[in-house]
Amino acid sequence: MLDAVRVLVILAALAVAMPAHAAPPTLVALAPAADARKAIAIGPAGQVYEPDGNGAWVRTQAGGVAETLVAATSVGGTVIAGAVGSTPFKLKGGAWTSIHLQLKTKAILGTGSRALAAVGKSIYALDSSQPTKLADAPAPVTALAGGKAVVAATAKGLLRLAGTAWKPIKKAPRSVNALVSDRFALVDKGVLDLETMKITSWPAGLRVTDATVVGGTAVVGVSVRGKTVELVTVKAGKVERETIPFGDVSPIVGIVGDKAGRVVVATRDGHIGVRDPKGAWTITEVRDELPAAKPGPAPAESK
């Protein structure tokens, strides 16, 4: 009987010492950088995958957040992530901390080159050490974008902040599919320029759901049709398309670009495509290289 007990104890100790099978990496967002190759990939629990300088994105430390992250931006080299039904989080020194906006916060993270967040009608700029409250919108904000201007989508239509007053954007549609920046929005037919109110139409059968602005005037997005993934560039009223050679089709979770013409696209299943300025693509997959867990003491034996 004693030998049987000892066998069970040894088996239990081995089970504790053996690492559990790790789930494959999952991504939810890309935090942009001036050089797209330095964008940071973010997982749903705050997993951080950073470029290693050799074309790979690697996670080297544990830690994260208790909320589910869904979006990311960056300001001054600091990554800011938006979460489901929670305050935004800031990544600094390898650790996440919450950004206090209001009690019981359910914030929306803005898009564009300026870091913004909205809580109901309240809007905050996140581009300094402490959040700066801007003028309240006249209705709850459903989408937000910042750059040289601040634009908000509400049930009352699209609004632009002028000084401390919100004014309707003349001739703008009542709603859009997404705000890409303070100047561009996605609509069913294509890309809407909020300054000229001109729409650059998609080719037949094309639909873009994830997009960013490069150089202030070009909209770069991704279209998924069946097993084909395309990079779509809209500039000066023209549309250019090219295939992204992802082997497996997974939902797109992030796209960033830079002035040199580089573009980085991330998929939910942990793949990242990098386009160089000459149009060549490299596909890689994020990976975990976490420090090995230190084994704990073996369970005490019964006598």
DSSP 35-87: SGGG-EEE-TT--EEEE-SSS-EEE------SSPEEEEEEETTEEEEEETTS-
pLDDT at res. 109: 96
In one-letter notation, the amino acid at residue 20 is A
* Cβ partners under 8 Å of residue 290, min gap 6: 59, 60, 61, 62
Q: What is the 3-state secondary structure (H, E, C) of 215-247?
A: CCCEEEEEEEECCEEEEEEEECCEEEEEECCCC
Grouping H, G, I as helix, E, B as strand and the rest as coil, residue 92 is: strand
Q: Which residues pair with 202 in a beta bridge?
A: none
Residue 148 lies in a domain: yes
At 195 the pLDDT is 95
Q: Find out whether 126 and 80 touch, Cβ atoms under 8 Å.
A: yes
Instruction: Write phi, then psi, for 271 (nearest 5 degrees).
Output: -95, 145
**CA–CA gap between residue 153 and residue 196 (Å, rounded):** 18
In a domain, 42, yes or no: no
3-class state of residue 154 by DSSP: strand
Place of tokens 């909205």: 118
Indicate whether 229 belongs to any domain.
no
Number of domains in the chain: 1
Rounded Cα gap, residues 45 and 237, in angstroms: 39
* Predicted local distance difference test score (pLDDT) of residue 175: 95
In a domain, 150, yes or no: yes
Task: Round to whole Å and give the CA distance between 274 and 23.
Answer: 24
Note the pLDDT of residue 297.
54
Q: Is 13 part of a structural domain of the chain?
A: no
> Domain of 186?
109-201
Establish if 124 belongs to a structural domain.
yes
Tell whether 279 is covered by a domain. no
User: What pLDDT is stored for residue 201 in this prediction?
Assistant: 95
- pTM metric for this prediction: 0.86
d(CA 47, CA 31): 12
Task: Tell how strand 40-42 and strand 29-31 pair up.
Answer: antiparallel
**Residue ranges of E strands in 148-194:** 150-154, 157-162, 165-168, 178-179, 184-186, 190-193
The verdict on residue 104 lying in a domain is: no
Task: Mark the ranges of the chain whose per-residue pLDDT is less than 70.
Answer: 1-22, 104, 293-303
d(Cα 35, Cα 59) in Å, to the nearest integer?
Answer: 19
Contact in structure between 115 and 126 (CB atoms under 8 Å): yes
The pLDDT assigned to 128 comes to 86
Element at 90 (helix H, strand E): strand 89-92
pLDDT of residue 105: 77
